[in-house]
Structure 1
Amino acid sequence: MSVHESDNYISLAELVETNLSFRPLKEELSQYDANSPEYISALIDAMPLTENTNYRSFLKKQSVPIPGSELNPGYSAVYRSSLSPDHLVSSMHPQLTTFFDLFNFAVKRFPDRDCLGQRVPLDGSGKLSDHYVFESYQEIQKRSRNLGSGIMTVVNLKRQRKFDVNDFIVSLWSSNRKEWIIADLACQAYSVANTALYETLGVGSSQYILNSTESPVLIVSKVKIYAILDLLPQLPHLSTVICMDDLSSDELSQLNGPLLPRSTNEAGERISVLTLRQVEEIGANNDVPIIPPKPSTLYTISFTSGTTGTPKGVLLNHSHIAAGITFVMSIFRVPPQKRGKQLYDMCFLPLAHIFERMIAGYVLSSGVGLGFLHKADPAVLVEDLKILKPDSFSLVPRVLTKFEAGIKNGLRGDSVSALTKNVATNILDQKRTRFQTRGGPDRSIINQVVFHRVLIDKIRDSLGLTNVSFLVTGSAPVSNDTLLFMKSALDTGIRQGYGSTETFAGICISEPLEKDSGTCGGMAISTECRLRSIPEMKYDAERDQKGEVQLRGPQIFAGYYKNPEETRKVLSKDGWFSTGDVGYIDAKGRLSIIDRVKNFFKLAQGEYIAPEKIENLYLSSCPYISQIFVHGDSFKPFLVAVLGLDLETFEPVLKQRLPALKRFHGQDIIKLLNDNREYRKEVVKMMNSELTGLQGFEKINNILVGLEPLKVADDTITPTFKVKRVNAAKKYHQDLNRLYEEGSLIKVEKL
């Protein structure tokens, strides 16, 4: 019953024209020619789809099983979005089938709108502007085309090829900044694929990616220049290094002279260091005609740092990002009072990760201004948010919990009067109760006139979230308590999504103001999902709607770069991608991730343990746990764990339970906990008391704590915070043995 061939995909425009649920929207659009810019603009402005159907009915059935698809033994039914149960949607409109199409249509609609912006240095003062300085959509389009033309010219001159030859890969290495986006747009204009090196990956991984892609050109920030010069002898294909920052003539002559470790690469091409502005000027003077991409054109190779082995390059075409942007456009809502106005978003999560690539793609297809932090340091986030005041913001649970801790600590401070504390507590309790009992926005007079003026607007202003209409979170589990608290404190919706690099980020997302939050929401209109039974882990997809998540549709990747063996392991001949995640689909058709496939072992008493399921439950139940590595031994009857504690959140709570710790802070508290069995016992009791859904043998019995015990630099976690179990167990081998020697901190029967 399920379609998977691209010939069977339809555009969102075709969905509106053929699905009776959207008849009023079809009639509204009928005044325009279906291929005109006016039609496409009106279609985009009419989003989200949920505003063009019965929203209450949608909330009750967000994904639906496809009739007849439940007959496959060992699998659940196939689920699709209830907004498009008969077809998967691959694009907004037949004329917008690539990211290049979407961005250029935005330029036509909003040529003078703010596109990319940053705070700029004030002349001679060393200080930064107290506002964001933006370049417009048409200015960014011009710069990106000049840069693309310049890259084609420089690379092909060295290779002695025609200027329109685009059979190479551009590599990017820097933190988020507008030049990163300009370079990405430049690649699109000439159908050149790119890849990004993770800021957090070691030199070995960067060398591996540059050599496996045979990339001749690397675009880097100035701080990476010397690292690349050191690496040059091991990079046989690299010939051009383009610095995003301006360099003086002296710096350039040094970098192209005595500091250059070799003058040519192994193909005999001259190695040179140029600035981005220089390459833009070369491109403007040479003006190579653009080469627009097709849907099948490779857009990017996104390397994932898995929990084992070398990074895998995920091949993602323009069709994949076009489908992803279409999904986001179909589901994100701009409030009526903001429609037609200049909106802003903060580009905070790393652009090397696919989550931010999808969000940036949506933003740049919608005429929204994208701002960047003034330096690559999360510590300046709130400072810059207060200046940009974005209308939407994407973040990870770790940032949400830090916001939560900041708000709570601000309301507990010694300078805060008892009356103010009581008023704040009362407001937050009322908001929490309201969000738990009723969905949708709170339009009550007391909320608008009293709660906002007394508390909520002050909290929003303190975080720079004054104008935020909703927040988006993903990449890791988040505590329901944190979701409820932040919804209440900000009086805004929070959307939690699920996806992976192989699916071009999100393939489902929760509705922002549901009363029963905590799921990842219903399926995208671009993706269908089924669950595979895993008997060895006791997951029955047919009976319980629990099993391995398998996905299919226009967002699913084409394969792994130069790695057919790994591709075959996860991508079936009929298009199903096996994610390795274990999911549950509820009665409303919403997906929740509950475990990982194959990550299980036996304890001494013969009980099977799925550590990732346990880790996710602790993370989602205990906001003060920022990291967790659960470890078991088949010769031992209980579990131990290495924990990362967010002391900003945890210290006040801990000191209430353990008054002896009141005069200690930070690392001193960590040391005291690790040294004192009774203190740790109290922490373990607190953790386990806040937990539901685990059997006694699945609960943690002893712990080692730290502020950030798992680090990318130590190779114990990936850049996307997945635990590398073998490496973590090796690093903490002696500590884990000591925990077992010490024994359980709690009696098993009292778990």
Structure 2
Amino acid sequence: MSKTTITETTLTELIENSPRLRNVKQKLSKHKHGSREYYQALYSNLVLAKSANYKEYIRQQSVPLPGTDHVKGFSAIYRNSISPEKLVSAIDSNLNTGYKLFSMAADIFADNDCLGERVYDKSTGKWSDHYVWESYKQVQKRSRDLGAGIISLVNGRRNKPFDSTDFIVAIMSTNCKEWILTDLACQTFSLANTSLYTTLGEETSEYIMNLTESPVLVVQSSNLLKVLSYVPQLKNLTTLISIDDLSDSELRNINENFLDGVKLFTLKQVERIGSLLKLDPIPPTPDSLYTISFTSGTTGMPKGVELSHKHLSSAVAFGKSNFDLPSVELTKTKQHYELCFLPLAHILQRELTAISLSSGFGCGFMHIPDPSYLTECLRILKPTIMGVVPRILTKMESGIKNSLNSDEVSMITKNIAHNILDAKLSRFQSRGGPDDSLINSFVYHKILIDKIRHQLGFDNLEIMIIGSAPVSNETLMFMRSCLDIGIKQGYGLTETFAGLCIAETYERDVGSCGAPGVCCEIRLKSVPAMGYDAEKELKGEILTRGPQSVIQYYKNPDATKAAIDKEGWFSTGDIGFIDKKGRIHIIDRVKNFFKLAQGEYIAPEKIENSYLSNCPEITQIFIHGNSLETFLVAIIGIEPASLLETLSSHYGVKMKGLFPEELVNRINSDRALKVKVLTLLNRNVSKLQGFEKVHNIHVGIEPLKIEDDNITPSFKVKRNKCAKFFEDEIKRMYKEGSLIKSNKL
């Protein structure tokens, strides 16, 4: 493979030197570079596609680099069309670490709401109906005190100098204000951190703690009992910090009776210690390790991805150059808000929160980490930006459709609603861009859209970010139509600090993951065994390189060597297709294929993605097949309301009032009904060949669960675990045989 040179730049240098961005350059020229006014103007003009000729950009979003299309087995190298000569590693040379990004935000947006939570009132037994906020200035002070407390306590207990930064801070907590405070504290003192999923088993948590040799664990009290049971196996642990307050007697009891050689403190105690010490920050460099993010492996123990502050700063640059939020003056709020909903142990939420906290947004947290409380919190916070996974979107879609088709809604109202949605859908399918028409603003919004948005808490929502798994085009277009918002579907991995590419907000032809961002380059590699030709068809395994891409795995040279070649290309394992506009479409997964009895090769992830992308009635799917059988079976998670509506409209099946569990039991026990469900699903995946379609199913509401170790925390299927867990159901389906052999596929 011939070598190509990567030259890096910053967004401000790109703006200065690119003729396509001269309008932004002119706006910035009014201010002194490095001044507060300069960065305020910069932050308001960072969406590069909108700053250039947008129509021209939409037509060609990424371009092949000249002279890179001659390597056998590979496509040309593709870069974003706005910056084909250089890759972006930061917004500005003064903003090339997480510490600098937050410090700048704390200077510009000192009095803005920063971190907010709902407060529990013990006297009433209720949670507040509003968010209580701490400002950027307050959060900056608290995070510095906390960081000073952590570094002094841990080093004191290790008999190391107070300024030693050679240890890793572990965090085990659901999303909360203290999680972010700990992360910012680590950034302030050049401490790397790692996050443990609260749903991980004891074995995995032990593995990560011992691999990282972490001497300190910041933990919620709800997980404290679990942690205490395996503290003796944590060889390097010296300090436990409880996020929640504990009484003096509780602290004394735990320290005296449950801990040996380990000391438990509360976070407030550590913060107070730090405030008394008043240690100066130890700012990180771009090459400083920011976090070790453990990928939720589908087989074996997870791999630790080393992500530096350079990775963080380039990920923030990627986000801020793509998230086209309106200026605050044009919104109903004094600033932008984000609901920190996805787990912070998930790299996508880390990226979104980093973007928010470098932009002066307010980050709110759910009072109870349970999706059933999501709408309640949304109605109170009313965010302007939010990240979700597809199954949340499909649940919202199902709820809206169910509400519109309810027996309580008059036929006239139903007809008006459906006419509006049909008009919106037709408009978005015929042309791109936001709907600025008068009929939309003064009729559609007043009659329907504002009411739907209000019910969901999306009164102020401007952008929704979708990641982690495929979502159907039908769902994307329906949600865009009934909410009249921008929905951006992206693609990325832990190894690329989440977003690697992201779709344009109001594109007419939805379904892609957009072009590679300005912080990376990609190329495709042919996979002959799976029939993918990168040279001729622009289909193959996605390889990526650049400031956002991983350099190595933590203490795992074998994994590093297997995934990253000598030129720095990281093999994602995902099969992609590059369309004429230079956008990426994810179509398959490398290596996950097997052979059926008749000799046909099956790529299960491609099939699963096809069902998930085209069947809004389902939220989960695990495809199973083996060389002794001639057909595929599946474990499927259904969206009850959506499935009931589809069954009613296609077959006249009336099952109103059924509880979800009753519906599941009815489908699994009634062969004729199961055939109807399967036929509906298979109609939606017409592009699959007959042998790729599912012939029998077992359904559940959420059959694949993290706590059962069937899926990873980022919702990837653990195939071997699923096959064992659902062994009885799989045997039963094969014994029952194909439900559709007599039907034409």
TM-score past 0.5 threshold: yes
What does residue 267 of structure 1 align with? none
Provide Cα deviations, 1:328-361, integer angstroms capped at 9, x if missing partner. Answer: 1111112144489411111000000100000000
Which consecutive residues of structure 2, in runs of 5 or more, have no partner in the other structure?
A: none
Match of 1:96 in 2: 95
Q: Which residue of 2 aligns with 1:686?
A: 680
Residue 298 (structure 2) aligns with: 307
CA contact (8 A) 1:3 1:87 kept: no
Question: Which residue does 1:659 correspond to in 2?
Answer: 653
Equivalent pair of 2:115/2:177 in contact (CA under 8 Å): yes
Which residue is 1:716 aligned to? 710
Identity within the alignment, %: 52
Q: Alignment partner for residue 638 of structure 2, among 635, 645, 652? A: 645
Q: 1:748 to 1:33 in 2, by over 3 A?
A: farther
2:312–2:497 Cα contact (<8 Å) kept: yes
Of the three residues 691, 694, 703, the one matched with 1:700 is: 694
Could you tell me how far 1:653 is from its partner in structure 2?
2.5
Counterpart of 1:686, as a letter, is L
Matched, 1:740 2:737: no
Aligned to 2:69: 70
Aligned to 2:721: 727
| 1:268 paired residue number | none
- After TM superposition, give the deviation of residue 711 of structure 1 in Å: 1.7
Secondary structure (helix, strand or coil) at the match of 2:555 reads coil
Deviation at 1:23, TM superposition (A): 2.0
Higher mean alpha-carbon deviation, 564-573 vs 327-336, is at 327-336
Q: Which residue of 2 aligns with 1:350?
A: 343
1:263 equivalent in structure 2: 260
Answer yes or no: is 1:273 the counterpart of 2:273.
no
State the distance in 2 between where 1:665 and 1:146 align: 51
- Correspondence for 1:290: 281
Q: Which residue of 2 aligns with 1:604?
A: 597
The equivalences for 1:23-102 within 5 A come to 23-102=22-101
Please give the alpha-carbon distance, in whole angstroms, between the structure 2 residues aligned to 1:84 and 1:229. Answer: 51
State the alpha-carbon separation in 2 of the partners of residues 660 and 284 from structure 1. 65
Question: Using the alignment, how far apart are the partners of 1:89 and 1:202 within structure 2?
Answer: 38
The alpha-carbon distance between structure 1 residues 661 and 43, as it changes in their structure 2 partners (threshold 3 A), is closer
C-alpha distance in structure 1 between counterparts of 2:3 and 2:372, whole Å: 47
Post-superposition CA distance 1:313-342 (Å, at most 9, x none) = 110000001000001111111214448941
What runs of 5+ residues in structure 1 fail to find an aligned partner?
265-270
- Indicate if the aligned counterparts of 2:10 and 2:88 stay in contact, CA closer than 8 A: yes
Residue 527 of structure 1: aligned partner: 520
The superposition leaves residues 526-548 of structure 1 with CA deviations (integer Å, 9 ceiling, x where unpaired) of 01010100001000011111100
- Structure 2 counterpart of 1:507, one-letter code: L
**Relative to structure 1, is the Cα distance of residues 568 and 659 closer, same or farther in structure 2, using a 3 angstrom cutoff?**
same
Q: Partners of 1:335 and 1:250 in 2: how far apart? A: 51
1:257 is paired with a residue whose SS is helix
State the match for 2:537 in structure 1. Answer: 544
* Residues in 1 aligned to 2:624 and 2:101: alpha-carbon distance in whole angstroms: 47
Q: Which amino acid in 2 is paired with 1:133?
A: V
In the TM superposition, what are the counterparts of 1:136-535 in structure 2 within 5 Å?
136-258=135-257, 260=258, 262-264=259-261, 271-336=262-327, 337-338=329-330, 341-535=334-528
- Cα distance, 1:663 vs structure 2: 6.0
Q: Residue 655 of structure 1 contacts residue 662 of structure 1 at CA under 8 Å; is this kept in 2?
A: no
Amino acid at match of 2:692: E
Give the residue type in structure 1 aligned to 2:705: K
Contact 1:100–1:189 (CA under 8 A) maintained in structure 2: yes
Q: Give the aligned residue type for 2:458.
A: L
2:313 partner amino acid: A
349-358 vs 243-252, which moves further: 243-252
Deviations 1:536-565 (A, max 9, x none): 100001111110000000001121111000
Letter matched to residue 160 of structure 1:
N
Matched, 1:750 2:744: yes
CA contact (8 A) 1:386 1:465 kept: yes
1:584 counterpart (577, 597, 606): 577
| Structure 1 contact 81–523 (Cα < 8 Å) conserved | yes
Deviation readout 1:700-750 (Å, 9 max, x if unpaired): 111111122222222221111111111111222232233222221113660
**Per-residue deviation at 1:524?**
0.4
1:658 to partner: Cα distance: 6.0
Q: After superposition, give the CA deviation of every residue in 1:379-404 in whole Å (9 maximum; x if it has no partner).
A: 11110110110011111101101111
Listed one character per residue, the Cα deviations across residues 220-246 of structure 1 (whole Å, up to 9, x for unaligned) are 111111111111111121111111111
Distance 1:210 1:658, change over 3 A: farther
Aligned to 1:125, what secondary structure does the other structure show? coil
Aligned to 1:559, the other structure's residue is in SS state coil
Would the alpha carbon gap of residues 662 and 469 (structure 1) be closer, same or farther in structure 2, given more than 3 Å must change? closer
Question: Equivalent residue of 2:264, what SS?
Answer: strand
Work out the CA distance in 2 between the residues paired with 1:364 and 1:119.
19
Q: Report if aligned partners of 2:198, 2:223 keep a CA contact under 8 Å in 1.
A: no
Normalised TM-score (structure 2): 0.97
Whole-Å Cα distance in 1 between the matches of residues 742 and 201 of structure 2?
42
Shift of 1:36: 3.7
CA distance in 2, matches of 1:82, 1:692: 34
Deviation of 1:25 after TM superposition, in Å, equals 2.1
Q: Distance in 2 between matches of 1:564 and 1:4?
A: 24
Q: Higher mean Cα deviation, 692-701 or 732-741?
A: 732-741
Cα deviation 1:474-531 (Å, max 9, x = unaligned): 0000011110110011011100000000000001000111110111001100010101
**In the alignment, what sits opposite 1:628?**
621
TM-score (norm 1): 0.97
Shift of 1:654: 2.7
Could you tell me how far apart the structure 1 residues matched to 2:253 and 2:652 are?
A: 59
Deviations 1:552-601 (A, max 9, x none): 00001121111000111011111100000000110001101010001111
CA distance in 2, matches of 1:506, 1:660: 43
SS in structure 2 at match of 1:408: helix
Query: Deviation at 1:692?
Result: 3.1
Displacement of 1:66: 0.8
Distance 1:748 1:574 in 2: 53
Tell me how far 1:43 sits from its aligned partner.
Answer: 1.9
Query: Aligned with 2:214: secondary structure?
Result: coil
Contact 2:549 2:570 survives alignment (8 Å) = yes
Distance of 2:707 and 2:175 partners within structure 1: 20
> Which shifted more, 641-650 or 488-497?
641-650
**In the superposition, relative to structure 1, how do residues 663 and 317 fare at CA in structure 2: closer, same or farther (>3 Å)?**
closer
Cα offset, 1:413, TM superposition: 1.6
Deviation per residue, 1:186-207 (Å, 9 max, x gap): 0000000000001221111111
Point out the more displaced range, 115-124 or 219-228.
115-124
The residue that corresponds to 2:12 in the other structure is: 13
Aligned counterparts of 1:362 and 1:663: Cα–Cα separation in 2: 44
Instruction: Please give the per-residue CA displacement for 1:159-205, whole angstroms capped at 9, x wherever unaligned.
Output: 12211011111000110001000000000000000000012211111
> Structure 1 pair 124/256, CA: closer, same or farther in 2 (3 Å)?
same
User: CA separation in 1, counterparts of 2:197 and 2:704?
Assistant: 17
Q: Secondary structure at the match of 1:331?
A: coil
Q: Please tell me the residue identity of whatever aligns with 1:636.
A: E
